[in-house]
Amino acid sequence: MFIAWKGRGILVAAITIGSCLATQMATEAYYHNEMYFQQHGWPKFAALAVAAGIVQLLLPNDHGEHLTDPQLLVPSRNSLLRDSDQFFYIPVKHWPPILLVLGLLLCFVHD
């Protein structure tokens, strides 16, 4: 299988994989069960919801500015992800809702 992206679209995959790994490690540590993440749906939804939130925060807002905390950083016109970036030929701005829907599906459809 190949992964197709344009620009910084590969960050969608990196963020999603990182979020899933962090959630898996957290649930394993909390529940003392190495198979908890695989056996339950809600950790997968939580991981993909966090990934969707991170991707959304890295997108430019409607005014082309990056969303930042005005007390910590000065808003910048250069966000990490751009509207022209794509992952699997889908613009990155569409990935947050896609990740949420995938999370919901995995929440209810698991072994």
Q: What percent of the chain has pLDDT over 90?
A: 54
Number of domains making up the chain: 1
Give the pLDDT band (50/70/90) at residue 109: confident
Measured CA to CA, the distance from residue 56 to residue 95 in angstroms comes to: 8
Query: Residue 101 is which amino acid?
Result: V
Query: Which domain does 72 fall in, by range?
Result: 5-108
Query: What are the pLDDT digits (tens) for 53-98?
Result: 999 998 887 654 555 555 554 444 567 888 788 898 999 999 999 9
pTM across the whole model = 0.81
Instruction: Look at the chain and count its residues.
Output: 111
pLDDT tens, position by position, 24-58 = 999 999 999 999 998 999 999 999 999 999 999 98
For residues 97-111, one letter each, b for 16 or more C-beta atoms within 10 angstroms of the residue's C-beta and e for the rest, the string is ebbbebbeebbeeee
